[in-house]
Amino acid sequence: MEIIIKKDALSGSYSAARVVARLIHEKPDAVLGLATGSTPLMLYKELIRLHNEEALDFSRVTTFNLDEYVGLPADHEQSYHRFMWDNLFSQINIKLENVHIPDGMASDIPAFCASYEQAIIDAGGIDLQVLGIGSDGHVGFNEPTSSFASRTRIKTLTRQTVADNARFFDGDESKVPHHCITMGIGTIMDARMNILLAFGQNKAGAVAATVEGPTASIMPASILQYHPAAKMFIDEAAASDLKLGDYYRWVYDNKPDWQKDA
């Protein structure tokens, strides 16, 4: 795993955006895996800016989102459908038919999940997956002890995740759905590249356990230690519990120019 420590969330997001933009330049029909939450918002703002000011072209890009709450219709203000359209898709030239987000209202959830996995395969697999991380180390909504072999499926949120996400539901935990559809850890690991963003002190523990702890399903993101092309963009606060923080900075500072942000 490559650890890229930036001074703040903004510069970390800009670096991550350069990686996404480079992929789209090199492969205009790239398949992106996308995440929700507050963490990728600055990344999405920067991608919108690159689209508006530097003609970054999404017309042939395909996207698959990680997850969605079960029971929220697409137009619900806290659905991840709505999040993605409000914060990214409505402001770039992506084609509606190229956007995939799990359907939280699917009547047959197992069948839907199987079709989602198939759609990823049919698209040629995910080139680059964007990830955030929950304070308990979840990626997508793969809560602690999720199988490392899991595929897209229904999951039950932990009480901690319900509490963490209540801030988006007027602070009312009773409004937060308890179930979600999420890509599995196996699905995420199949992406050809993973970039995980984590900002702020409340992610420091999960970041340290992911990077330097044992690989264990109790810390789902730790599986990324086994991914051949995983990068983590973090700010100083999120890096504060890392034992080898100085080493990661040293590695980054001494990279050949051509390799920076690559």
Residues near ligand GLP, by CB under 6 A: 35-39, 66-67, 132-134, 140-141, 161, 165
What is the rounded distance in angstroms from the CA atom of residue 98 to the CA atom of residue 94? Answer: 7
What is the rounded distance in angstroms from the CA atom of residue 39 to the CA atom of residue 131? Answer: 9
67 is an active site residue:
yes
Shortest CB 132 distance to ligand GLP, Å: 2
What is the rounded distance in angstroms from the CA atom of residue 50 to the CA atom of residue 262? Answer: 17
Shortest CB 64 distance to ligand GLP, Å: 13
Cβ proximity to ligand GLP, 36 vs 150, nearer residue: 36
136 is an active site residue:
yes
Task: Say which of 117, 127, 143, 164 is annotated catalytic.
Answer: 143
143 is an active site residue:
yes
Compute, in degrees rounded to 10, the torsion defined by CA atoms 143, 148, 153, 159.
-10
Shortest CB 230 distance to ligand GLP, Å: 15
Cβ proximity to ligand GLP, 95 vs 167, nearer residue: 167
Cβ proximity to ligand GLP, 9 vs 24, nearer residue: 9
Task: Say which of 68, 103, 117, 136 is annotated catalytic.
Answer: 136
What is the rounded distance in angstroms from the CA atom of residue 67 to the CA atom of residue 61? Answer: 19
Locate 166 and state its tokens: 């209540």
Task: Say which of 67, 68, 190, 235 is annotated catalytic.
Answer: 67
25 is an active site residue:
no
Cβ proximity to ligand GLP, 39 vs 98, nearer residue: 39
Q: How wide is the angle at C-alpha 134 spanned by C-alphas 130 and 139, nearest 5°? A: 45
Shortest CB 151 distance to ligand GLP, Å: 17
Closest residue to ligand GLP, judged by C-beta, is: 132
Contact 231, 259 (CB under 8 A): no
List strands edge to edge, sheet with 153-156.
67-69, 179-182, 153-156
Shortest CB 38 distance to ligand GLP, Å: 4
Cβ proximity to ligand GLP, 57 vs 241, nearer residue: 241
Active site (catalytic) residues: 67, 136, 138, 143
